[in-house]
Structure 1
């Protein structure tokens, strides 16, 4: 079974919309695009390069696919992220696209949930999802996400699309790795660990 890993830049208040640039995603009149850029230092880039090296395939929603397809082919031939993402298979979830042109890209056929579940059953390595917020919401709602890698930036946005919506399935994750960069980014990698467990704390419980 292949692992499906979701990686997101997240603000302290949970916003994931438009982290990379002013015009990345202006849905809803969002005018804070590019909020993550000041915090992407050499340490964050090193983590991104290491993550890209693990990728066996990308799974992308339409908006993120179009953004990536327009920009990553412009990277230098020896760019470690650009060259890796050009080489791996890219699976695109879209109801509106009829074709995809970035090399090694293909549209998912049929029901997206069935298609993703099928991809996970194939032999191979890590399937990575970057951005693709609507797709991620769907995957979370149907418990198809195995790991989360969250790069939490020390900034409050106040509005915009958030990572965890009302349809998120309750689930427990174990912290697999963590780091903090000089720019204040907290990077956490979390692995799915089954159902939520419950308890109680307080003076009356003896657990205080």
Structure 2
């Protein structure tokens, strides 16, 4: 059975792919909402690899490791950080030399070939978690399932 790839993209209604302090975008709630549960919690058991571009990877590495959690963080964020630390992370980059995050590796080259290689490797499903450029490439090349 082939590994399936889902492409995730966070985007505001006005088309922005980032959330630099937009009202409500960085608000933490005590419990996970339906979107969070569908995008992440419901996939903890079947996703074993997350693909990110360099900027998403370094941002996630800074914000989402278990070490970055505080005692006041809700449990679902702690669980997400633990899961993200545990799964394999693939950083697509020609600039980054070392991933500096456990269970991570850097891959460079043609995206179609990278995806084909990852799908042949053992493991569960894959999420492409990225900004607009990465996800647009997945769409253009018909790489997401």
Using the size of structure 2 for normalisation, the TM-score is 0.77
Establish whether residue 71 from structure 1 lines up as the match of residue 66 from structure 2. no
Match of 2:41 in 1: 49
Establish whether residue 10 from structure 1 lines up as the match of residue 11 from structure 2. yes
Answer 1 or 2: which has greater helix percent: 2
Does the 8 A contact of 1:4 with 1:126 survive in 2?
A: yes
Establish whether residue 36 from structure 1 lines up as the match of residue 30 from structure 2. no
In the TM superposition, what is the alpha-carbon distance from 1:113 to its structure 2 partner? Answer: 2.3
Establish whether residue 98 from structure 1 lines up as the match of residue 92 from structure 2. no
Cα RMSD (Å): 2.6
Distance 1:65 1:34, change over 3 A: farther
Using CA pairs below 8 Å that are at least 6 residues apart, which structure has the higher relative contact order? Answer: 2
Return 5+ residue gaps in structure 2 as ranges.
none
User: Secondary structure of 2:64's partner?
Assistant: helix
Distance 1:111 1:93, change over 3 A: same
**1: CA distance, partners of 2:42 / 2:97:** 33
**2: CA distance, partners of 1:131 / 1:53:** 21
Distance 1:81 1:39, change over 3 A: closer
Return 5+ residue gaps in structure 1 as ranges.
23-32, 147-208
In the TM superposition, what is the alpha-carbon distance from 1:37 to its structure 2 partner? Answer: 3.5
- State the structure with more CA Rg: 1
**1: CA distance, partners of 2:134 / 2:114:** 13
Answer 1 or 2: which has greater strand percent: 1
User: Secondary structure of 1:129's partner?
Assistant: strand
- Alignment length, in residue pairs? 134
